[in-house]
Amino acid sequence: MSNMSLDPGVRGVAGRVTPPVETLFLDAGGVLVNPNWRRISDALAAHGVRVAPGVLADAEPRAKHALDVPDLIRHGNDSQRGWTYFNLVLEHAGIACSPETDAALEDLHAYHAVHNLWELVPEGVVPALERLRARVPRLVVVSNANGRLHVVMERLRLARFFDVMLDSHLEGVEKPDPRLFERALERAGARRETTLHVGDFYWIDVQGARAAGLRAVLLDSAGLYPDADCPRIRSLAELPELLGGVAGPVQ
């Protein structure tokens, strides 16, 4: 998706030699795991709202894109954005918000608080992590989460790939605040100049990482950010190949 890539020892777009990626930060939701759309569809159906899981999944990238604007990111926290996010998914799926959808979201919120609703591992994530684990010395999860990140990552057998996992709820600070990235650097024993972050929100992940002096890649699953000033991938499966090209400078 981008002609900017990330290999050591090759001059980047500003003419500098970019160091190799020694530490990879990965967002969880939208990168490693997705919402369980079957569970969401079933919860809506229990309240009389019929919508197929695939319709919800197809609507989700457009909902995220609508949410990914500076004012909404600046004037709310991750928990508050969660309600807006699901209502936007319903809107883009052609479902009007109603007392019935509110009741379904309440049920899902209760499930999420205990188990974490982001429990669907996209096809290709595990093979990608196996390849990344073999070539990048340190893998770290840096996620805006609800305190259940470690539980769900263990349950899905993804925790084994990571050296460190940071859950914003437990840390008391969330992206795009650069302090979460700074804390991740410290915990991982990483250098900012050799660290790359991958996330699915431009104003949370890319700008947050840049504020901490890191390079960033945007996971743009539906190709909705054609003008983004950063490398983009459609899925984590594309990342190992991207790491094999020419790195751009920290921006």
pLDDT at residue 12 in the model: 36
Q: What is the spatial distance between Cα 206 and Cα 86, in angstroms, rounded to a whole number? A: 22
Q: Within 13 Å of residue 196, how many CA atoms lie on the same side as its CB?
A: 27
Q: What is the spatial distance between Cα 70 and Cα 234, in angstroms, rounded to a whole number? A: 22
In DSSP terms, 165 is beta-bridged to 141
pLDDT at residue 79 in the model: 66
Spell out the CATH class of 23-33+121-242.
alpha beta
Residue-wise pLDDT tens digits, 75-98: 667 666 767 899 999 999 999 999
20: pLDDT confidence band, cut at 50, 70 and 90? Answer: confident
pLDDT at residue 122 in the model: 95
pLDDT at residue 72 in the model: 82
Residue-wise pLDDT tens digits, 170-181: 999 999 999 999
Residue with the larger pLDDT of the pair 115 and 166: 166
105: pLDDT confidence band, cut at 50, 70 and 90? Answer: very high
| Domain-wise residue ranges, the chain | 23-33+121-242, 35-119
Residue-wise pLDDT tens digits, 124-159: 999 999 999 999 999 999 999 999 999 999 999 999
Residue-wise pLDDT tens digits, 93-103: 999 999 999 99
Ordered DSSP codes for 38-82: HHHHHHHHTTT----HHHHHHHHHHHHHHH-SHHHHHT--HHHHH
Q: Which fold has domain 35-119?
A: DNA polymerase; domain 1 (1.10.150)
In DSSP terms, 25 is beta-bridged to 140, 197
Residue-wise pLDDT tens digits, 192-217: 999 999 999 999 999 999 999 999 99
Residue with the larger pLDDT of the pair 7 and 57: 57
